[in-house]
Amino acid sequence: MSAASSRATLIEVAKLAGTSKTSVSRFFGPERERLTPSLQTRIANAATALGYQPNLMARGLKGGGSRLLGVLVADIRNPFSVAVVHGIEQAARTHGYSLIVCNTDNDPEQEQQHLRLLKSYQIEGLIINAAGQPEAQLQALKHSGVPLVLLDREVRQLDVDVIGLDNALAIDMALDHLVRQGYRSILYASEPPAYASTRQERLQRFNQQAERLGIKSQTLILSSSAPDFETLTAFVEHPGSSPGAVLCANGNVTLAMTRSFQQLDITLGQTGLMGIDELDWCELITPGITTLAQPTDDIGHAAVSCLLNQLNGSAQASPVRYRHAPRLQIRGSTTLVPNF
Amino acid sequence: MSAASSRATLIEVAKLAGTSKTSVSRFFGPERERLTPSLQTRIANAATALGYQPNLMARGLKGGGSRLLGVLVADIRNPFSVAVVHGIEQAARTHGYSLIVCNTDNDPEQEQQHLRLLKSYQIEGLIINAAGQPEAQLQALKHSGVPLVLLDREVRQLDVDVIGLDNALAIDMALDHLVRQGYRSILYASEPPAYASTRQERLQRFNQQAERLGIKSQTLILSSSAPDFETLTAFVEHPGSSPGAVLCANGNVTLAMTRSFQQLDITLGQTGLMGIDELDWCELITPGITTLAQPTDDIGHAAVSCLLNQLNGSAQASPVRYRHAPRLQIRGSTTLVPNF
DNA sequence: TAATAAAATGGGAACGTTCCCAATCGGTTT
DNA sequence: AAACCGATTGGGAACGTTCCCATTTTATTA
C-alpha cells in the first residue's frame, strides 16, 4: 500500500467504486453534479481509501488543461517582484492554478530559454516581466492561443494586456509632493532606460512635467558599476536658488542613492530623497525615506484575473492597459528642516 | 503555420525528416549519439523548421520524468528564502530541471494542500522549507520514491537529508564576536521556537554556550503582535555590571529589533545589536549592523545536488545533514564606543 | 401503459511521448 | 560468398487522463 500510494489511478478507483473511469473522471472535473448522489459518495469513498490524486500530467496531455501558469520574472531577488509573485500565487491558488516560476536574472538569453521551456509544459497562461524584448517568441505564444499578460514592462509591437503602476501618476504624485514640501530643484535618478519601458515612461514623464512645472531638473543614469559621486555632489552643492531633492526611479536606485548619501554625508531632508517602491528599511533610515508604495498584491491579483478572462474567452479585442495607483508614504526624508 | 506552431509533434518531425518517431525521440533524449550523423542533421533541420518543442507533459506521463522539481517555501517574502530559491533555480537549470515554487505563508494547511498538488505534477524531487510538521505526507512521498531534501528546518521523525546553516557554529561565532567586543550580558531575541527546528537549535545552543562562557544571558520571544518594549528597556537599563548586546535569531527579528531600538532611542553599539541573516539595509543603518551572512546560493546548490544524488541512486543509506558555515560581517553595531 | 424525452452512465479512442523488442543495415570473419 | 555480429532504425504498446458518442436508466407525457 505504501509504494502503491503514488500509483492509485483513475481506473483503480473506478474498479473499487464499482463504476467506470468516465464517472470518476467526471467526479473530479466540473461535471460532478451530473452524478447521482449515491455514486458520488461511492467514488469519494473509494478515492480517499486509495489516496487517489489525479495525475495532472495526464490531464494536461489530453487537453483537460495543465492548470499551470508560467511566471517569468526579470529579477527574483527584487522585493517588488517577489511581492507581486506572492500576489499572483494567492490569486492563482484560489482558482486552482499552480505556478512555474522562472527567473531570468535580467538576461535575455535565459529569458528565451525559459520561454521555450514554459511552452513545453503546456502552460495555460503566462505572466511575464520581460528582461529583453522577446517579441517574436511572445507573438508566437499568443498566436498559439496562450493568454499573455505583461507585468510592469511592455514589449514593443506586442499587443497584449499590460499590468503595472500608473507611471505618469506616480511621477506626478512625487513631483507634487516634493514641490509642496518646498524643493525646487530635482535630480531624477534611474537605471539605464533601454529595454525597460517602465523606466522610459517614468523618465519621460519626469522631463515633461518638470518642464511644465518650471522646476530645475536634472537626470542621473546609474551605471551598474561605480556610483556617480561627482554628479550628486555637484547637485547638492549647487541646487540652484533653492533646496534640491533626489527622486529615485525604483527600489534599487533608492538603495544605491541612500548608500551614496551616507558616503557623501548628505543630510536627508535638507537634501530631499524619495523613491518609487516601498522597502522594509525605508522607515528605519533616520528620519525615514518617503516612498511611493506599489500595491503589489493588487497587481498580482489583477494579472491573474486578466489571464483568466482571456482563458474564458471574454477577452477584449484591444488589449487592456491596467495601471495601478501608488500610495504615498510620507517620511522625514522629504521634510525640509531649517539648517541649524 | 502560426496556429500550428504549438502543435508540432514528434510524429510530424519524424515525417518531415523521413524517419520514425523513435529516432526523433532518441534525438531529444540522452541517446542522441546512437544516431547516424546524417540522421541527426536531418532531424535537427526538421525540428527547427517546424519549431518543435517536446511536450514535457507527455514525457512526464510515460515515465520519462517530468523534469520538474517542487520547491515549498514557508515565506516567500523572506529575503533569505528568496536568495536560496535563486540558488536552487540556478543549479536546477544547469541540470535541465524546472521549478514549481509554492509558498505556504507559514500555514500548515496550505502546506498540506500544496504537497498534494506537487504530487499530482509528478515532481521528480522536492525541496521543502517546512512550515508545520507534515511528517505523514512527506513520509508517503519518500516511500513512493520521490527524493526529498529539507531546507533549513527539520521535520520530526523524518529521516531525510537536511541542508542549512550550521546553527551551533553560528551561535558560537556570534557569542565569540560579542564577547570579544566587550559585551558581557546578552539578550537573545527569537520568534517562537515551536515548529521550527532552526529556532530551537539556535536557542538551545545559545543557552548552553552562554552558561558555559559564564555570560549573563536572557531570552526574549517575540510575539507576532506588539513589540515587547518592557523587556528590552529593562535589559538596556540594567545590563548588569557590563555592557549588553542583543542577538537576533534571524532577519525578521533583526528588523523588529532595529525598529524597537529606534523607538526606544537606544544607541547602536553602546548597546550591541547583531543578527543572523544578512540584509540589504544592514549596512545603511548607522553605524551598520553586524550580521552573520548565510551562504544562500551555496545552500540552494547543495539542495539540488543532494536531490540529484538521490535521483541517481547514489543516495546514502543514512541521511546527510549538511551544515553550512556563516560569514561574519562586522559593522558598527557591535563596536562598544565610549559614552560621550 | 406505452411511447418518448431526459438524465445518468459506460466504452473506446486519442493526446504525445518513451520503452521494449523486432527488423534492417553495415561490415567482418571464415 | 555465406554466415554472423554489432550497430542503427522502426513499429507497437503503454502511461492516465478527457472527450465523444452510444447505451442504459429514470422521469414525463399522452
Count of C-beta atoms within a 10 Å radius of residue B339: 7
Nucleotide with the nearest C1' to A6 CA? D16
Task: Write down the pLDDT at residue B320.
Answer: 86
Averaged pLDDT, B143-149? 90
Cα distances (angstroms) measured from residue B255 to each of A192, B227, B251: 31, 11, 6
Q: How far is Cα A265 from Cα B299, in angstroms, rounded to an integer?
A: 37
Confidence of residue A313 (pLDDT cuts 50, 70, 90): confident
Task: Write down the pLDDT at residue B231.
Answer: 87
Confidence of residue A338 (pLDDT cuts 50, 70, 90): low
Cα distances (angstroms) measured from residue A149 to each of A70, A77, A229, A254, B281: 10, 21, 39, 27, 32
The answer to whether residue B229 scores a pLDDT higher than 90 is no
Task: Give contacts of B281 with chain A, Cβ < 8 Å.
Answer: 255, 279-281, 284-285
Averaged pLDDT, B120-147? 92
Task: Write down the pLDDT at residue A2.
Answer: 35
Q: What is the pLDDT of residues B257-292, one digit of tens each?
A: 999 999 999 999 999 999 999 999 999 999 999 999
Q: Which domains does chain B have, with CATH numbers?
A: 3-54 (1.10.260), 68-165+296-324 (3.40.50.2300), 167-293+327-334 (3.40.50.2300)
Task: Provide the mean pLDDT of chain B.
Answer: 91
Task: Write down the pLDDT at residue A340.
Answer: 47
Task: Provide the mean pLDDT of chain A.
Answer: 91
Residues 58-87 of A with CB under 7 A from strand C: 58, 61-63
Confidence of residue A4 (pLDDT cuts 50, 70, 90): very low
Q: What is the pLDDT of residues A104-161, one digit of tens each?
A: 999 999 999 999 999 999 999 999 999 999 999 999 888 888 999 999 999 998 999 9
Secondary structure string (H, E, C) spanning B161-208: EEEEECHHHHHHHHHHHHHHCCCCEEEEEECCCCCCHHHHHHHHHHHH
Task: Write down the pLDDT at residue B239.
Answer: 56
Separation between the CA of A16 and the C1’ of D11 (whole angstroms): 35
Q: Give the list of residues 6+ apart from residue A6 with CB closer than 8 angstroms, or none.
A: B119, B140, B141, B144, B145, B146
Averaged pLDDT, B3-22? 83
Task: Give contacts of A73 with chain B, Cβ < 8 Å.
Answer: none
Q: How far is Cα A260 from Cα A269, in angstroms, rounded to an integer?
A: 15
The answer to whether A283 contacts chain B (CB < 8 Å) is yes
The answer to whether residue B2 scores a pLDDT higher than 50 is no
**Smallest Cα–Cα separation from A58: which of A47, A49, A67?**
A67
Residue tagged 542577538 (cell numbers) = B247
The answer to whether residue B241 scores a pLDDT higher than 50 is yes
Q: What is the pLDDT of residues A231-261, one digit of tens each?
A: 888 888 875 567 899 999 999 999 999 999 9
The answer to whether residue B4 scores a pLDDT higher than 50 is no
The answer to whether residue B3 scores a pLDDT higher than 50 is no
Per the CB < 8 Å rule, is A122 touching B2?
no
Q: What is the pLDDT of residues A40-94, one digit of tens each?
A: 999 999 999 999 999 999 999 987 789 999 999 999 999 999 999 999 999 999 9
Averaged pLDDT, A301-324? 86
Please tell me whether residue A331 adopts helix, strand or coil conformation. coil
Task: Write down the pLDDT at residue A89.
Answer: 96
The answer to whether residue B314 scores a pLDDT higher than 80 is no
**Chain B residue closest to A63 (CA)?**
B57
Q: What is the pLDDT of residues A325-334, one digit of tens each?
A: 999 999 999 9
